[in-house]
Amino acid sequence: MNEKNIHRKQIIEKLFTHQQAMIDNLKAAMEESQQAANDYGSPKDRYDSFRTQLLRKRDMFAQQLQLALDDNAILKRIPIEKVFEKVEFGAIVITKSQKLVISASLGKIDVDGEIFYAISVKVPFFAVINGLKKGDSFTFNNQSNTIIDIY
């Protein structure tokens, strides 16, 4: 395994760690809301909405948890050993202005002091850079940029 593949694997492992922490936090928040609703008991009267608010909060965390699990499933589809020649799902893309991981929309990730942005294949920026190769230039939001490396 070459140095770039090792670095790519570290980045993807960091994404998994970040996503698993989010999943664990959402599960805990969901369980905490359910427990609070259980501890409160049944509504005290017909206008008592506190228990309903707690259950809505639990449902909100459940929806967020499902989205996090969906993103985790997307991460599992990344081909770890593949060598990338062009911008596509699973690639690490280095431009003059930023470092990207084409995976799921997970935001900013710090890997040993390097900042990477995990973006989805569904965002408009990906549509602009999809299929480009090392050295290709592109324009997004009236800003020109160049792909320095892909791995």
Nearest by Cα to 64 from 101, 117, 96, 28: 28
Q: Are the CB atoms for 128 and 95 separated by under 8 Å?
A: no
Tens of pLDDT, residue by residue over 62-82, are: 999 999 999 999 999 999 889
Task: Give the mean pLDDT of 32-58.
Answer: 85
Q: Return the percentage of the chain with pLDDT > 70, whole number.
A: 99
- The enclosing H or E element of 93 equals strand 92-95
